[in-house]
């Protein structure tokens, strides 16, 4: 799980007796009641199984990019990505995957030129404001389990670490969803409102972020044998019920979420001498967990 | 070189004929005149040579943490780090190195308890303001070739990607400089004013960021054989003149730097439909280059 903030960030060893202070964000999340957690539907979970056996789990955000995501579901159903690869890794930027040859025909039913789903109306989103200044948006906050940026009229997903976007060529191209990338460095937020984001990696990001960087232009692997083979990509709802992974996110309307965001902006756990008094939206990731067996 | 922004970020192939638009930040940097570049002194370059032959180059910032950096120079001179290792890699956070055993005695002359060099007076720094809102500081900008955050009285280095900091245990410990880390994910800016930053990696970050993530708590490697051996760490000024690498940074007082920051905040090169109208300090890295041979 990638989204758990950690206590004693730089201590090689935890102290024998920590001073009594406020709980760390991770402690607040661990203590959140079952009612504060919401299930992630199986039809919004995409599973990338690499040839080496590792799995990467993506949560999709159809409320932000429905046409691109419908394309992705159709591509998965058509097995478009089976035997595809990760073919680009650019340091402090992105890892990208799909059909490295760019020659594989798209299956029938794919919208070749989706609308530019770069923003959506702010109406219909119950945004919990984060409340701190941001260089890229008038407002940031959380809604429906997602980080959100807004100019007051439109809303969009910020380009935070582990977010998943749709590769495209120059406008008017908007990308089909066949070529995808994830952020593996500092949030490249200048891309916002210029690219369709479709979700985020909630588990297994290490299989994307710890890869050798590509030495070609833009981090493309120069040799075909450097590519990382993808065995399959599936929507979890395609699997037999017993094989579907179950994940939950912390409801941004819950008191636990409010306490978590306050603690992320004002760390008072023992390692910290001085709380920051603020946080940027990409430093307040939505807590994610596997659904406990007892919660079934 | 890690700090060059790139054009056509997601295009697998550059278009045959790009539209004529404003230059990309990388093009502005490439066109900057020789007078806009300043040499990085050899006594502020620290070279980490890994056992596998790769080199990581750090630029030190003695104007921010002089006592910690004096310690680091003494540790390098005493060969403290020779045959040490990288022993912690935590995804979207930090890579850390030094003496994994934490038992090696410090050489004579090391200040065991340096002052908390977490901030310095803003006086004496000619800060070029970036001018966009920031969640962590009243002002951000650049000075002396460094990103800077300030509350109007004090100034500090922001915790951006590739910045190098001093590991410490709980306060009042401030760390000696023997255990170091670098940021390999989204900027953990809540650490600012809580830790001494001493510089940044200007070359070879891939040898830190693309490592397998540690599976122990906080990303520590669980087995000694997982550690990445460091052969030597040296200050470049210790080397014979002909072996010293020569690096330069773009002067933040130069017109080229002003044009670069404006373009980072307002991308108008062909890939972009909509300029952001702002940038966070960690998305405006100071351009760095090897000193051209002709400039000698």
Interface of A with B in 17-36 (CB under 8 A): 18-19
Instruction: Please report the pLDDT score of residue B20 as a whole number.
Output: 55
Distance CA B36, CA B248 (A): 10
Instruction: Please report the pLDDT score of residue B3 as a whole number.
Output: 27
Instruction: Please report the pLDDT score of residue B295 as a whole number.
Output: 52
Of the candidates B251, B69, B25, the one whose C-alpha atom is nearest the C-alpha of residue B164 is B69
> Nearest chain B Cα to A170, which residue?
B271
Among the partner residues B11, B190, B279, nearest to A170 by beta-carbon distance:
B11
Whole-model pTM: value is 0.93
Instruction: Please report the pLDDT score of residue B136 as a whole number.
Output: 98
Q: Is the pLDDT of residue A3 over 80?
A: no
Q: Is the pLDDT of residue A99 over 70?
A: yes
Instruction: Decide if A210 and B91 are in contact by the 8 Å CB cutoff.
Output: yes
Establish if B186 touches chain A: CB-CB under 8 angstroms. Answer: yes
Instruction: Decide if B94 and A10 are in contact by the 8 Å CB cutoff.
Output: yes
User: Which ipTM did the prediction report?
Assistant: 0.93
Distance CA A158, CA A193 (A): 9
List of chain B residues with pLDDT < 50: 1-19
Distance CA A57, CA A66 (A): 19
Residue A21: pLDDT band with limits 50, 70, 90: confident
Side-chain-side CA neighbours of residue A233 (13 Å): 28
Chain B residues lying within 8 Å of A204, measured CB to CB? none
Interface of B with A in 257-286 (CB under 8 A): 264-265, 267, 270-280, 282-283
DSSP characters for A103-144?
-SPPPTT--SS---TT-EESTT---EE--S--SS-SEEEEET
Query: Do the beta carbons of residue B264 and residue B252 sit within 8 Å?
Result: no
Instruction: Decide if A190 and B279 are in contact by the 8 Å CB cutoff.
Output: yes
Of the candidates B110, B91, B81, B296, the one whose C-alpha atom is nearest the C-alpha of residue B214 is B91
pLDDT tens sequence across A264-273: 999 998 899 9
Q: Provide the sign of the torsion angle of the four alpha carbons B268, B273, B276, B280, taken in this order.
A: negative
3 state DSSP class of A250: strand
Instruction: Decide if B189 and A280 are in contact by the 8 Å CB cutoff.
Output: yes
The strand pair at A139-143 and A180-183 is best described as: unpaired
pLDDT tens sequence across A177-214: 999 999 999 999 999 999 999 999 999 999 999 999 99
Q: Is the pLDDT of residue A84 over 80?
A: yes
User: In terms of C-beta distances under 8 Å and separation of at least 24 residues, what long-range contacts does B170-175 make, across chains too?
Assistant: B170/A8, B170/A11, B170/A15, B170/A18, B170/A19, B170/A270, B170/A271, B171/A273, B172/B113, B173/B113, B174/B68, B174/B113, B174/B114, B174/B115, B174/B116, B174/B117, B175/A10, B175/B68, B175/B114
* Best to test chain B binding among A11, A92, A147 (most B CBs inside 10 Å): A92
Instruction: Decide if A10 and B192 are in contact by the 8 Å CB cutoff.
Output: no
- Cβ pairs A/B, distance under 8 A: 207
pLDDT tens sequence across B144-197: 999 999 999 999 999 999 999 999 999 999 999 999 999 999 999 999 999 999
Instruction: Please report the pLDDT score of residue B1 as a whole number.
Output: 26
Instruction: Decide if B186 and A282 are in contact by the 8 Å CB cutoff.
Output: yes
Residue A8: pLDDT band with limits 50, 70, 90: very low
Instruction: Decide if B181 and A10 are in contact by the 8 Å CB cutoff.
Output: yes
Chain A residues lying within 8 Å of B265, measured CB to CB? 135, 190
| B180 to chain A, closest Cα gap in Å | 10
Instruction: Decide if B15 and A170 are in contact by the 8 Å CB cutoff.
Output: yes
Instruction: Decide if B161 and A92 are in contact by the 8 Å CB cutoff.
Output: yes
Higher pLDDT residue, A87 or B10?
A87
Higher pLDDT residue, B268 or A246?
A246
Backbone angles phi, psi at A294, to 5 degrees: -65, -20
Of the candidates A219, A189, A191, the one whose C-alpha atom is nearest the C-alpha of residue A91 is A219
- What's the mean pLDDT in A38-46? 98
Among the partner residues A10, A190, A195, nearest to B167 by beta-carbon distance:
A10
- What's the mean pLDDT in A255-261? 98
Which string of b and e fits B201-226 if b means at least 16 CB within 10 Å? bbbbbbbbbbbebbeeebbbbeeeeb
């Amino acid at each position: 799980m990638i989204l758990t903030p950690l206590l004693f960030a730089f201590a090689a060893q935890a102290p024998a007796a920590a001073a009594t202070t406020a709980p760390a964000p991770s402690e607040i999340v661990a203590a959140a009641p079952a009612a504060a957690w919401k299930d992630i539907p199986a039809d919004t979970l995409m599973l990338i199984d690499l040839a080496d056996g590792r799995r990467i789990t993506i949560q999709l955000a159809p409320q932000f990019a429905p046409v691109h995501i419908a394309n992705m579901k159709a591509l998965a159903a058509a097995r478009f990505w089976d035997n595809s690869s990760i073919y680009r890794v650019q340091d402090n930027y992105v890892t990208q995957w799909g059909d490295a040859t760019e020659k594989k025909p798209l299956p029938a039913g794919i919208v070749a030129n989706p609308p530019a789903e770069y923003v959506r109306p702010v109406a219909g989103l119950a945004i919990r404001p984060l409340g701190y200044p941001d260089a890229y948006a008038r407002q940031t906050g959380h809604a429906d389990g997602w980080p959100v940026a807004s100019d007051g009229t439109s809303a969009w997903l910020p380009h935070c670490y582990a977010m998943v976007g749709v590769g495209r060529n120059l406008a008017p191209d908007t990308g089909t969803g066949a070529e995808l990338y994830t952020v593996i460095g500092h949030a490249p937020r200048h891309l916002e409102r210029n690219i369709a984001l479709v979700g985020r990696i909630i588990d297994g990001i290490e299989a994307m972020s710890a890869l050798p960087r590509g030495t070609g232009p833009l981090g493309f692997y120069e040799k075909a044998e450097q590519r990382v083979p993808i065995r399959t990509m599936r929507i979890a709802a395609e699997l037999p019920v017993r094989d579907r992974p179950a994940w939950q996110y912390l409801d941004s309307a819950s008191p636990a979420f409010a306490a978590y965001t306050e603690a992320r902006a004002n760390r008072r756990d023992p390692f910290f001498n001085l709380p920051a008094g603020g946080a940027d939206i990409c430093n307040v990731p939505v807590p994610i967990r596997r659904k406990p067996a007892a919660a079934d």
